[in-house]
Amino acid sequence: MNNATKPEDSSEFTPLLGKSFLTPIYDPIITLVTREKRWRRQIVEHLHLAPGDRVIDVGCGTGSLLQAMFSDCPQAHFVGVDPDASALRISRRKLGAIANLIRWHKGFLESLELPAGWQPNKIVSSLVLHQVPLRKKQAILETIESLLVPGGTVLISDYMKLDSPLMRSLFRATVQSLDGISDTQPSADGEVEKLFAEIFTEPCLLHRFPTVTGTISLWRGYKKGIAQ
């Protein structure tokens, strides 16, 4: 698979940390306030990557998860999808020579074009859904489902239902102050889990990670059908 960048999608998106000028400091901030290494490690462990796997990272951002997945299984095939050109430039620099082994798409998932016969059996997404409107959350999950092979795996790590008053307060003071309330509140109210359970089979909450920005949850599901 070549790594040519697709044309830019002109639709609006929420920058990392909610403000484009914060993109260069995204990595140290996320490491500091979200326990990033722990939940990214859990994503990789639960993916059970194997040679030949075809993996899409939806909202790959600065490439930290792609880097971790590639290190775990360099014989798998990876696609990084993100509409933010600044984040993708950071990602390419971070991954160095590895970047040439990954296919990059600058745009949204729905505009991704894949080579004939190339269909992902695993899709991951982290810290994306909370930033977009509810209808977009649903559209992203439905697109993931449509792309996966039957029996394919999806792992979502994000801010989801926040039951604890403390976690809701922390989320309001940090994430919502940067990303706004209208798009993030449905996530805090548990709407993503409802959509996830409607779209995928065997939905399972794998872990919850309390952080100073609110709880980050890791969910796994499968596309209906027999795994290929």
pLDDT for the residue 22: 58
pLDDT beneath 70, residues of the chain? 1-11, 13-28, 227-228
Is 87 in contact with 23 (CB distance < 8 Å)?
yes
Three-state secondary structure call for residue 55:
strand
- Cα separation, 62 vs 173, whole angstroms: 24
- Cα separation, 55 vs 66, whole angstroms: 9
pLDDT of 10-26, one tens digit each? 457 665 555 565 556 66
pLDDT for the residue 10: 40
pLDDT of 176-196, one tens digit each? 998 899 999 999 999 999 999
- Cα separation, 71 vs 79, whole angstroms: 15
- The string of DSSP letters for 68-89 reads HHHHH-TTSEEEEEES-HHHHH
| Pair of tokens at residue 76 | 């798998």
Q: Which domains does the chain have, with CATH numbers?
A: 16-222 (3.40.50.150)
CA 8, distance to chain mean position in Å, is 19
pLDDT for the residue 26: 62
pLDDT for the residue 80: 97
User: How many C-alpha atoms does 34 have within 13 Å on its Cβ side?
Assistant: 23
pLDDT for the residue 30: 74
pLDDT of 69-87, one tens digit each? 999 999 999 999 999 988 8
Cβ-based neighbours of 190, under 8 Å, separated by 6 or more: 160, 161
Is 144 in contact with 112 (CB distance < 8 Å)?
no
Length of the chain, please? Answer: 228
- Cα separation, 31 vs 221, whole angstroms: 26
Sheet arrangement for strand 153-159 = 103-106, 77-82, 54-58, 122-126, 153-159, 216-222, 201-209
